[in-house]
Amino acid sequence: MSYAFVFPGQGSQSVGMLSELADSHKEVQEVFSEASDVLGYDLWDLVQNDASGKLNQTDVTQPAMLASGIAVYRTLAAQSDLAPTYMAGHSLGEYTALVASGVMTLAQGIELVAERGRLMQSAVPEGAGAMAAVLGLEDDQVVAVCSQIEGVVEAVNFNSPGQVVIAGEKAAVDAAMEAATEAGASRVVPLPVSVPSHCSLMKPAADALAEKLAGMSFSAAQTPVLHNVNVAVSSTEEEIKQALVQQLYQPVQWVKTVQAMKENGVEQLFELGPGKVLMGLNRRIDRKMGMVAVYDNATLEKAISSL
Catalytic residues: 91, 198
| Distance, CA of 222 to CA of 224 (rounded, Å) | 7
Q: Is 123:59 a contact under the CB 8 Å cutoff?
A: no
Collect contacts of 179-185 with beta carbons under 8 A, ≥24 apart. Answer: 179/145, 179/148, 179/149, 180/134, 180/137, 180/142, 180/145, 183/137, 183/141, 183/145, 184/136, 184/137, 184/141, 185/134, 185/135, 185/136, 185/137
> Which helix (H) or strand (E) covers residue 291, if one does?
strand 290-294
Distances (CA, A) of 103 to 47, 151, 183, 224: 26, 38, 43, 10
In degrees rounded to 5, what are phi and psi of residue 173?
Answer: -65, -45
Q: Is 213:244 a contact under the CB 8 Å cutoff?
A: yes
Q: Is 29:23 a contact under the CB 8 Å cutoff?
A: no
Q: Is 152:172 a contact under the CB 8 Å cutoff?
A: yes
DSSP classification of residue 55? G
Residue 225, strand partner residues: 87
DSSP annotation string for 125-142: -TTTEEEEEEESS-HHHH
